[in-house]
Amino acid sequence: MTFPLSVYSLDRTIFEGKAVALTAPAADGEIQILGQHTPLVSALKEGDMVIEKEDGSRQKIPIAGGVVEVTSQTVIALVNF
């Protein structure tokens, strides 16, 4: 099951599209977001964010921190480099 995912930095859009999974370095440990995930807001720390796309490919994004918000409709991550 896929979900709409948007990843933004202050100056550009990094990813917009459908994702199967998002793995991110949260402040309290690594989290993985899948379709129909419970709504949450989490701080992100330095590490690698990994997006698993519909076609099975993965995109790894090194980040310095940020925040991720999961709603019933979409997932939005605002990240720093």
Q: Which residues contact 11 (CB under 8 A, 6 or more apart)?
A: none
Domain count, the chain: 1
> According to the model, what pLDDT value does residue 49 have?
98
Pair 18, 42: CB distance under 8 Å:
no
The CATH number of residue 48's host domain is: 2.60.15.10
Domain that holds residue 58: 3-80
How far apart, in whole angstroms, are the C-alpha atoms of residue 63 and residue 59? 13
Per-residue pLDDT of the chain (81 residues; tens, 9 = 90+): 999 999 999 999 999 999 999 999 998 899 999 999 999 999 999 999 999 999 999 999 999 999 999 999 999 999 998
**b/e map 37-63, b = 16+ CB within 10 Å:** beeeebebbebebbbbbeeeeeeebeb
